[in-house]
Every structure is written in C-alpha cells, then in structure tokens.
Amino acid sequence: MRIAVCVKHVPEGPSRIDPSTKRLDRSGEGSLNHFDANAVEEALRIKGESGTEVVVVSLGPQKALDSLRKALAMGADRAVLVFDDAAEGSDLVVTSRVLATALEREEPDLVLFGQQASDADGAVLWAAVAERLGRPVISQAMELSVEGGSARVKRQTEFGYDTLEAPLPAVVAVSDAINEPRYPSLKGIMGAKKKPQEILSLADLGIAEGDAGEAGSRTTVLALGDPPARGDARKIEDDGNAAQAIVDFLAEKRLV
C-alpha cells in the first residue's frame, strides 16, 4: 500500500501582498504548512500499523525542499517536488492539475491533505485534486482507519459527527484535531538527508509551460485595495471605570 501526502511550503510571519504581482510575497523564509503536518502524522500512524510506504508531494519553489525534508525527518519514505519557473503564479486550477498529474505517476492507494493552507485558508484544493483523479473524497476527518480496501472516516459537522466510508483509492483531508504531529528526532533529521528526494519539471509531467503559471491560470487578480475604514469608534481605557464608560457610550448611542 502507498500513501501520498500533499504538503505546502508556506511563508513564515505576517502575510504581505506584492503590489507588482498582486500575489502573496513568498521571498522570505518558509516552513511546512502546520495543517499538512497533521496529514503527514496520520500517514505515519497508518504506516506503523501496516508497513505502508509514505511519499510526500509538493508543488513549489526549490526551497520547498526544506518542508519536504521535515516530513522525511518525521518518518516519510520519499519526497517529490514539482519545481519549475514556469509554474510560478499558478492558481488553484493549475495547481490541482499539476498535483493530480504527479499523483497519477505515483499511483497511491490513499491521498492525504491537510484541511487547508495557512497562507490562503481556501480549503478546496483537496476537492479539486480528487475531481481530477476521479476519486471519492472525504474532508474534516478527525478519525481515519484503512482496512478491507476502504477508508473509514469519522468527521465533525455542525450537527454532530458523521461516519463515512469510501473505497480505495480515495482522497481524505484531515482536520488538525485528528492527531498531534511528532517532532523530528535528531536521528530522523540526519536520516532524511539520505532518503530519495526527486525534483520534477512540468515537462517531466507532460505539462506545457503555457498551461501553467499565470499563462495557464483561469483566475486573474484585477486590483487590490485596503479594507474599508471602520466606522465611528471610541477607545476606552480600563482605569477602574471602564464598565460605566461602556454603559454611558451605549446610552449615548441609544442602545440601552
């Protein structure tokens, strides 16, 4: 059995939009998306029970290898990075196509995603990839078991809990409540350097340069603007009379 975990290298620190490109500035330091660490941990848990091979897959700049190496240090077996200058600026549509093509090459029985990426919080990439692969998908997994050729998931909803089952191969997006990701040990960090780390170009996947990046994207950012200014507001310092000051303010606005 093989499990593929899609992970993302995300910027550290406050988010900044580059006004020249209208895209998120990714020039600084980055790290493994913490939601994806839960997906890696869950894959490793299943691996410990069944001897499964775990491969981490990502689309990103060459420095995304740092995040892949962290996953390898945690215990993943192999890493695959799709890195190509022509892929810079790819939107969700292109990203889902590139990842789906890379996953088809790996032929995994189970594909795991974190619920969302901390730099975008879109929480839809796993659905787009599953659509391209033609596989069933379950999200918000807080418990996951794999047996008898199917994935069984307990997921949390606003009305309680659902238990769903999907035949393999399948795609599952795990929530951050499913586990507590382990910290890589020194032995794991040293061993990660010797594990296979493959870098693929768009050409390796049979994707033309014009079908990726901004040229191949189906969405366009037309303009950026600051959020609207807040309405009339008053700051109240708590010097012992804050409660009365709040009551007076509400009375002034005829709200009490």
| Tens digit of each residue's pLDDT (9 = 90 or more) over 207-235 | 999 999 888 988 888 888 877 877 777 78
CATH superfamily of 2-216: HUPs (3.40.50.620)
Token code pair at residue 48 = 């410990």
Reference 10, options 67, 62, 55, 50; nearest CA is: 67
pLDDT-based confidence at 238, cuts 50/70/90?
Answer: confident
Residue type, 97: R
Q: Check pLDDT > 80 for residue 39.
A: yes
Q: What Cα–Cα distance (Å) separates residue 156 from each residue in 34, 40, 112, 161?
A: 20, 20, 17, 5
Q: What values do phi and psi take at 110, rounded to 5?
A: -140, 135
What does the angle CA 47 – CA 100 – CA 40 come to, to the nearest 5 degrees?
25
Whether the per-residue pLDDT at 15 is higher than 80: the answer is no
pLDDT band at 189; cut points 50, 70, 90: very high
Q: Within a 10 A sphere around the Cβ of 243, how many other Cβ atoms?
A: 10
Confidence of residue 17 (pLDDT cuts 50, 70, 90): confident
* Amino acid code (one letter) for 187: K
Tokens standing for 91?
């939107």
Which band of pLDDT confidence, cut at 50, 70 and 90, is reported for residue 110? very high
Task: Give residues with Cβ within 8 angstroms of 25, minimum separation 6.
Answer: 11, 15, 16, 17, 18
Q: What is the pLDDT of residue 71?
A: 96
Q: How much is the pLDDT for 237?
A: 83
CA distances (Å), origin 25, targets 16, 19, 91, 227, 251: 6, 9, 15, 19, 46
Tokens of 63: 């420095």
Chain segment 151-170, per-residue pLDDT in tens: 999 998 888 899 999 999 99
pTM: 0.85
Cα end-to-end distance, the chain, whole Å: 64
Cis peptide bond N-terminal to 228, omega within 30: no
Rg over alpha carbons for the chain, rounded to the nearest Å, is 22
Annotate 180-206 with DSSP letters as a single string. -PPPPPHHHHHHHTTS-EEEE-TGGGT
**Residue 217 burial class via C-beta count within 10 angstroms: exposed 0-12, middle 13-18, buried 19 and up:** middle
Domain ranges of the chain: 2-216
Q: pLDDT band for position 124 (50/70/90)?
A: very high
Angle, vertex CA 78, rays to CA 73 and CA 83, nearest 5: 100
